[in-house]
Amino acid sequence: MAGVVVVGVGPGIGLAVAKRFVREGMSAGLIARSEATVKAAAEKLAGDVLPVTADVTDEAGLRSALDRIVEAHGVPDVVIYNAALIQSDRIGDLTAQQHRDAWAVNVVGAMTTAAHLAPAMAERGSGSFLITGGMPQPKPDYASLSLGKAGVRALVTLLHQQYGAAGVHAASVTVSGGVGVGTGWEPDEIANHYWRLHQQAPADWIQEIVI
């Protein structure tokens, strides 16, 4: 197995998902904005792990980071986009630029990652592109995140339409609440859903799991 790429790795879902896939024998390429964060995650994983620092809003930097991972591990079997700007805001609280900044993390970074890796996955004829979703219903206290997660849902549909017939499974895991031990949204349990999606045969593909 070529491996997994986790964009937006951190101490919660990102690390748990990386652990789940590494446990299956995959190599792992990890990307985070903070060098300390990505190195801390890598230290918790055994096996062939490559930590790379990149800001998902920096297109050139993100593409360069993805290239480094592909050069080291090959075209990934599965890509997980877990980056998000989680903040409380209502309509009218943010400037237009602040909304653009949130959208850049929540949606555009995922689109850049897909544009960079999905064509090679499609050419190979297999792979999974999985995005961490959320906000199954929009919430007025989380306006920018609600819009971003709606964008994620639309992006998954577009990726399925563009690459599904070539064998790339696009899907999201929509997390309905705050992640943490004892919250009902345990990172390790959430990670199992990503593995479940990756293991689905094409005839059984679903585009969203809501938990």
Please list the alpha-helical segments (H only) found in the chain.
13-22, 35-43, 59-73, 96-103, 109-124, 143-163, 187-199
Q: Which residue did the predictor score with more confidence, 131 or 10?
A: 131
Question: What does pTM read for this prediction?
Answer: 0.94
| Structure confidence at residue 185 as a pLDDT band (50, 70, 90) | confident
pLDDT single digits (tens) 150-177: 999 999 999 999 999 999 999 999 987 6
pLDDT single digits (tens) 74-104: 999 999 999 999 999 999 999 999 999 999 9
Q: Closest Cα to residue 121, out of 154, 156, 162?
A: 162
Instruction: For residue 81, count other CB atoms closer than 10 A to its CB.
Output: 27
* The pLDDT of residue 117 is above 70: yes
What count of residues does the chain have? 211
Q: How many CA atoms lie within 13 A of 152 on its CB side?
A: 34
pLDDT single digits (tens) 13-36: 999 999 999 999 999 999 999 999
pLDDT at res. 1: 58
